[in-house]
């Protein structure tokens, strides 16, 4: 059986880590693109729900009421979907910003800081 050198294993690990970082970058771009598509789709839905026409001259009032009710339901659903998508995007971007800021500052999370403080106080007591 052929022996694999440490150098080749090291190169393989470096290559694998680089590939994972590349995939992570592509995934983040894909998520950003998906966000844009969802916002545009929700805006299009709102535009479609607002374009339910006026009563036609040859239509009965019942038909107009039915069309108007369908338009109101579409409008409600589109506005609800839009609100949900926008709230999801805002919460997701806030979470990203918090993680990025935390990484840039190099500070520990509050739970980690408390754990370190507890360990330090227990060592001082002992």
Distance CA(8)–CA(10), nearest Å, equals: 5
CA distances from 27 to 46, 55, 58, 64, 99 (A): 29, 48, 54, 47, 17
- pLDDT value of residue 57: 47
Distance CA(29)–CA(21), nearest Å, equals: 12
- Six token digits for residue 62: 């019942």
Pick left, alpha or beta for residue 106 (phi over 0 → left; psi -120 to 50 → alpha; otherwise beta): left
User: What's 1's DSSP letter?
Assistant: -
- pLDDT value of residue 54: 46
pLDDT in tens, the chain (126 residues): 567 788 888 888 888 988 999 998 888 888 888 888 887 887 777 766 655 544 444 555 656 666 666 677 777 777 777 778 777 777 777 777 777 777 777 655 555 555 555 555 555 555
The verdict on pTM exceeding 0.85 is no
Distance CA(19)–CA(13), nearest Å, equals: 10
């Amino acid at each position: 059986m052929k022996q694999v050198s440490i150098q080749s294993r090291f190169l393989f690990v470096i290559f694998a880590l680089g590939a994972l970082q590349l995939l992570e970058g592509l995934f983040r771009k894909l998520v950003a693109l998906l966000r844009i598509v969802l916002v545009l789709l929700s805006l299009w839905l709102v535009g479609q729900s607002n374009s339910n026409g006026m009563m036609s001259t040859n239509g009965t009032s019942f038909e107009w009421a039915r069309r108007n009710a369908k338009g109101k339901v579409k409008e409600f659903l589109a506005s609800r979907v839009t609100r949900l998508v926008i709230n999801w995007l805002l919460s997701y971007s806030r979470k990203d910003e918090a993680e990025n800021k935390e990484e840039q500052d190099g500070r520990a999370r509050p739970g980690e800081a408390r754990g370190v403080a507890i360990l330090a106080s227990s060592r001082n007591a002992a």
